[in-house]
Structure 1
Amino acid sequence: MNAQLPTSIVGSLPKPAWLAEPEKLWAPWRLQGEELVEGQRDALSLSAAEQALAGLDIISDGEQTRQHFVTTFVESLGGVDFERRETVRIRDRYDASVPSVVGAVSRERSVFAEDAKTLRAQTDRPIKWALPGPMTMIDTLYDRHYGSREKLATEFAKILNEEARELEAAGVDIIQFDEPAFNVFFDDVKDWGVSVLEQAAEGLRCETAVHICFGYGIKANNDWKATLGDQWRQYEQSFPLLQESAIDIVSLECQNSRVPIELIELLRGKKVMVGAIDVAGADIETPETVADTLRGVLRFVDPDKLYPSTNCGMAPLPRQVARAKMVALAAGAEIVRGELALTG
């Protein structure tokens, strides 16, 4: 792995057409039973190889064994009824039919440990695994049991911590918690969101990250972004809290966003995973465009703490576009590494 500016994707990559319908979130699987399990593992291995070929330093699973970054985890838990569904507003943005929490949530066995072992066997590079964060989990469910967002999130944090410990034992080097809800529920983030997130990461020896973005490049998210005005200052609420937290890395959206870049200064001292690749469209960044983004960020992040990445997951994009964007990310980071070497 490059010691400086190590590159990675944030979450998902497009799935092969033989596994699921291309360019679609929540795409149904095209295989069943043992064939599905084998196909998912094959896709995971292929995803790891494509990241390595693109030149990325930290390898992820590309979420090839998951239909959705939250739901696939929740499906394996007790206390959640997928037949009793309610329509809720996801992150105050769009309506979705979601399952109900009908009893005490529980986890009988690890959801992803075997998949993580498969990924670990594919590469000698560091590997990263993403889990849904507690606040984002409760935002995608209807609670019929706890009657308290904080209480349900705390129970999920305990379950996530159990899962994270097994992932660490499987050889995962970075565990990332996805919390796009941190860009919406600011009072909850301040009152209990960060502390509950820290409970999910408690006791881990591997590095921990929290990813906060403005969402996949789907119409509902893009329409919401269009209402946010000339400056997207949501990070101003969460960054000071996370700077003081026990989380090692903060992952944020930067490329083609209206986030004032100086807000990154609020994280000074933390490692920062900066999104230098836009996922809201199929236009492919040039390496120089990526490099320019990273140069701007280096005014606010020390070079040894900057992790170039994508803004969010790339599942809705064509596979060839996602591949090209990964290549651009790696090449752009290499340009800046060379510049840093010249300046000492």
Structure 2
Amino acid sequence: MNTLLPSSTAGSLPKPSWLAEPEKLWSPWTMDGEDLAEAKRDALRIALLEQQAAGIDIVSDGEQTRQHFVTTFIEHLSGVDFERRETVTIRNRYEASVPSVVGTVARERPVFVEDARFLRQQTSAPIKWALPGPMTMIDTLYDAHYKSREKLAFEFAAILNQEARELEAAGVDIIQFDEPAFNVFFDEVNDWGIAALERAIEGLRCETAVHICYGYGIKANTDWKKTLGPQWRQYEQTFPRLQASNIAIISLECHNSYVPMDLIELIRGKKVMVGAIDVASNTIETPEEVAATLRKALEFVDADKLYPSTNCGMAPLSRRVARGKLNALGAGAQIVRRELAGA
């Protein structure tokens, strides 16, 4: 990236009400067939335009073409039965009815490659594509086949690597793996989670990122955050190993959280996607609030490695609020850019 402090979102943007019920995760589509395919492309174009209008430098599809950041990828794999559902506790936080792994998992065809190719055709800007990480995938399923979280994670890592290689060939500049589970299962992260992630990025020449946050602004997550005490130091348990990994960019939550900013020092040398927008609040940040978060982060990460971002995806928010937050992110990054240029 030639741009100083290149901004991006961590993931999803709200969907238009004509595509899916707004402000809701796992919202069903309002249509199907070719009408749905065309509506998804239209929504992708709008998400791109709104990012561009806000001055966002690294653009994405806003996850307009998928219902959920994990489940939609899994839906396209064989070996998973969506009719055979079991209740599991996701990330030790809330119960959900999830599909079951009933046989060998495999990717029989590309999942997001055509959507990524379509996005690439719409813009010359750098584009980022998000995929679920292996550990977060296994935490969103009931495993009735492998009976081993580690083995299933590495099976998914190999599948993700296939998809990532084709996304790279389609023109994606940054492939981001979403691993909120990394803030929960610390022993597994260090034992095999990071190794599974490195299997997923094997052979890629494009930049890679891992996004680790405290979750969408839904009640189960906000209630959990209230139990974490006055300082959220979860990153401390995984950052040293991530610093030594082959992942190029680490994306974390900062604004309006209790994460001590000095934890970023543990990943010194990595590019850091700093969450400067709170996705668990309808309050729209001012550009100056965004700039203040970025200035604080600059004490622990070099300016050429700082990537302003959102804490997490914004799918559960209203489009008005998300648009305002996008604008604040773009403007806040510009404030600090100007300051650095004048220094």
- How far 1:156 moved relative to its partner? 0.1
Distance 2:2 2:93 in 1: 39
Q: Structure 1: how far apart are the matches of 2:300 and 2:150?
A: 33
> 1:250 and 1:23 mapped to 2: Cα distance?
27
Matches of 2:288 and 2:253 in 1, distance apart? 18
Measured in 2, the distance between the counterparts of 1:285 and 1:279 equals 10
**Structure 2 Cα separation of the partners of residues 48 and 77 of structure 1:** 28
Q: Which structure 2 residues correspond to residues 111-260 of structure 1 after superposition, within 5 A?
A: 111-260=111-260
SS of the residue aligned with 2:96? strand
Give the Cα separation in 2 of the matches to 1:181 and 1:301: 24
C-alpha distance in structure 1 between counterparts of 2:70 and 2:10, whole Å: 15
- CA deviations over 1:174-202 (Å, ceiling 9, x no partner): 00000000000000001000010000001
State the distance in 2 between where 1:232 and 1:330 align.
Answer: 27
> How many angstroms does 1:254 deviate by?
0.2
The correspondence of residues 303-314 of structure 1 with structure 2, limited to 5 A, is 303-314=303-314
| Match status 1:21 vs 2:21 | yes
Q: Deviations over 1:223-253 (max 9, x none)?
A: 0000000000000011111000000000000
Contact 1:2 1:57 in 2 (8 A): no
Query: Is 1:299 matched with 2:317?
Result: no
* 1:2 Cα deviation after fit: 5.7
| Amino acid in the other structure paired with 1:114 | E
One-letter amino acid of the counterpart of residue 175, structure 2: I
The CA distance in 2 between the partners of 1:37 and 1:334, in whole Å, is 36
1:83 alignment counterpart: 83
- Counterpart-to-counterpart distance in 1, 2:181 and 2:97: 18
What is the 5 A alignment of 1:32-43? 32-43=32-43
- 2-structure distance, mates of 1:279, 1:120: 27
Tell me what 1:71 maps to. Answer: 71
Aligned to 1:51: 51
Secondary structure of residue in 1 paired with 2:197: helix
Report runs of 4+ in structure 1 exceeding 6 Å deviation.
Answer: none
The letter for the 1-side match of 2:146 is Y
Match of 2:6 in 1: 6
In structure 1, the gaps of 5 or more residues are: none
- Relative distance call for 1:184 and 1:135 in structure 2 (3 A) is same
- CA offsets 1:264-318 (integer angstroms, 9 cap, x no match): 0001000000000000011000000000000000000000000000000000001
Note the C-alpha offset of 1:335: 0.6
State the Cα distance separating 1:42 from its structure 2 match: 1.0
Q: d(CA) in 1 for partners of 2:265 and 2:56?
A: 26
SS in structure 2 of the partner of residue 111 of structure 1: coil
Deviations along 1:32-62, whole A, 9 cap, x unmatched? 1111111111111111111011110000010
Residues 121-170 of structure 1 show CA distances to partners (whole Å, capped at 9, x for unaligned) of 11110000000000000000000100110000000000000000000000
SS at match of 1:59: coil
Question: Residue in 2 aligned with 1:96?
Answer: 96
Q: Take 1:89 and 1:237, find their aligned partners in 2: how far apart are those partners?
A: 22
SS at match of 1:215: coil
Counterpart AA for 1:133: G
The CA deviation string for residues 73-132 of structure 1, in whole angstroms up to 9 with x for no partner, is: 000000000010000000000000000000000001110000001100111100000000
RMSD across aligned C-alpha pairs, in angstroms?
Answer: 0.6
Aligned counterparts of 2:330 and 2:40: Cα–Cα separation in 1: 26
What SS does the aligned partner of 2:337 have? helix
Deviation at 1:220, TM superposition (A): 0.3
Give per-residue Cα distances to partners, 1:6-51, cap 9 Å, x unaligned: 0000100000000000111111100111111111111111111110
TM-score under structure 2 length normalisation:
0.99
Aligned 8 A contact 1:45 1:118 in 2: no
Unmatched tracts of structure 2, length 5 or more: none
